[in-house]
Amino acid sequence: MKTNRFFLISSISALFFFNSAKAQQKVIQTDFSKGIWEQVGKGLQRKWISGSESTFAFWKMDKDAHVAPHSHPNEQVTYINKGSVKVLMNGKEHIIKAGGVLVIPAGITHEFFCLEDGTEDLDFFTPLRKDWIDGSASYLSAHGKNLEVVAQFTDSRPGNVAVSHNGRVFATMHPLSDPKQQLVEIRNGKAVAFPSTDLQKNGQPADSHKFDTPLGVTIDKGNRLWMIDMGLELGKTRLWCFDLKKNKVAEKIELPADIAPKGSFIQDVAIDEKNGWAYLADIANPGIIALNLKTKKARRFGGHQALQSEDVDMIIDGRVIDFGGKPSRVGINPITLSDDRETLFFGSMNGTSWYEVPAQLFRENKDDRAIGKSIKKLGEKPVSDGVATDQQGNHYITDLGGHGISKLDKNGNLTEFIKDSKLQWPDNIAVSDDGYLYISVNQLHTTTAFSGQPDAGKPPYFIYRVKL
């Protein structure tokens, strides 16, 4: 088991160019002109970052935006870069206009009112805002939506989640937690090996007859379960299909080595059961793999800018998340299909753009140039790891930095669906037929492969659901 664990972590670390060298304090640099703003109230948006001793925040405010009375054990220095605000403090009213500075002592109750559209407020806090990091500040709330616990895990992290048409819940267990079971069904809140214990790795070396390192999982309209196995130890990628009536393997397809060579990280899958195609996302060599499920022939589309990471930092709890001593830059990750299976949607993890392209171009084996010319930006998105698309064309996208889920409608309008401090790395989501959104939450940013530090995850990890 120790050898197996070492191999797995080495594979993932190599993928992300992981460097174990670390320091207690480091220079942090990011660009606030890039990335999506975090909505924390009506007409109130922010971006923020923390060092070891202080927190810096950049606010955008609309006229009449309001920050309710609150206090904190931090001294606050406020600089109004544009517009103006009114601050109530100690029974006095302070009007601060562009260029003005206000120092708010620690422990003093204060209240903000924005007086002009387009107001920009720069705040400096010392010591750092721990209440923002742990989610106890009043700014973080579920906005009237309640998370229900579907399952909790103490010994490993859930990866991706899928819900069948008759309400059965399935989850892969994330390879970064070195799980004994790779695919489970949630029964009465407990994780049970699916379809049997015989296919689980159970701490043993990889076996071509068993699961290796699966992650992406989905249910098609025929109520079949599909799972992509990245094969980080075996060095080969396999797509598994399960018959949920018989609870057995229906098909196992191995991708050709020239399409998915050893070192690939093919971690998300979308199934077109109508036309008999599967679409997969590879983040190691950013690309889309289109697989004909009838002929078993596959092609790879790569090289296009939309598949690459944008130059956008992943900031979680005020900290820039690194891979190998520098800010992460992860390309194409979530991938989905429209309900009619005619449009393919995708975006990068470190990216703020959500793209669409006609799936027919892949079915007709058009060349990369023709596909690339047909890619269009549908709208903006947060830095994310997972997405689900409903029958109405709404895209529910995980918001890693905002501890929430965003909703991008079919017209490209982005809104906040839910924000809750319990959503510590909402990894993947699934829409159920009875109108729920299922969310796997696994604190992935605390793992060694992301942080360069010993695993700081605090079990339990969860699968939640929330009513749409």
Q: What is the pLDDT of residues 406-441, one digit of tens each?
A: 999 999 999 999 989 899 999 999 999 999 999 999
pLDDT at position 144: 64
Whether residue 8 lies inside any domain: the answer is: no
CA distance 323 to 205: 27
pLDDT at position 34: 86
Residues 6+ apart with CB under 8 A from 245: 223
- Residues 127, 153, single domain; the answer is no
pLDDT at position 451: 81
Q: In what order do the strands lie in the sheet with 277-282?
A: 266-272, 277-282, 287-292, 298-302
The H-or-E segment that residue 39 falls in is: strand 38-41
pLDDT in tens for each of the 468 residues of the chain?
344 444 444 444 444 443 333 434 678 889 998 888 888 888 999 999 999 899 999 999 999 999 989 999 999 999 999 999 999 999 899 999 999 999 999 999 999 999 999 999 999 999 999 999 887 786 555 456 889 999 999 999 999 999 999 999 999 999 988 899 999 999 999 999 999 999 999 989 988 999 999 999 999 999 999 999 999 999 999 999 999 999 999 999 999 999 999 999 999 999 999 999 999 999 999 999 999 999 999 999 999 999 999 999 999 999 999 876 688 999 999 999 999 999 999 999 999 999 999 999 999 999 999 999 999 999 999 999 999 999 999 999 999 999 999 999 999 999 999 989 899 999 999 999 999 999 999 999 999 888 888 899 999 999 999 999
User: What are 125-147's pLDDT values in tens digits?
Assistant: 999 999 998 877 865 554 568 89
- Residues 243, 125, single domain; the answer is no
- Residues 321, 274, single domain; the answer is yes
- Residues 110, 198, single domain; the answer is no
Instruction: Kindly report the backbone phi and psi dihedral angles of residue 94, in degrees, each rounded to the nearest multiple of 5, phi listed first.
Output: -115, 125
- Residues 237, 312, single domain; the answer is yes
- Residues 230, 369, single domain; the answer is yes
Whether residue 279 lies inside any domain: the answer is: yes
Query: How many Å separate Cα 266 from the centre of its chain?
Result: 16
Looking at 74, 109, 133, the residue that finishes a domain is: 133
Q: Please count the structural domains in the chain.
A: 2
Q: Are 268 and 281 in contact (CB under 8 A)?
A: yes
Query: Which CA distances in Å does 46 have to 7, 16, 61, 114, 203?
Result: 41, 29, 9, 14, 44
Whether residue 5 lies inside any domain: the answer is: no
Whether residue 196 lies inside any domain: the answer is: yes
- Residues 111, 192, single domain; the answer is no
Q: Which domain holds residue 328?
A: 148-467
Task: Tell me the DSSP string of 150-200.
Answer: EEEESSS-EEEEEE-TTS-EEEEEPGGG--S-SEEEEETTEEEESS-GGGS
- Residues 219, 348, single domain; the answer is yes
- Residues 295, 440, single domain; the answer is yes
Q: What is the CATH number of the domain that holds 230?
A: 2.120.10.30
The pTM assigned to this predicted structure is: 0.88
CA distance 437 to 468: 6
Looking at 99, 133, 167, the residue that finishes a domain is: 133
- Radius of gyration over alpha carbons of the chain, in Å? 23
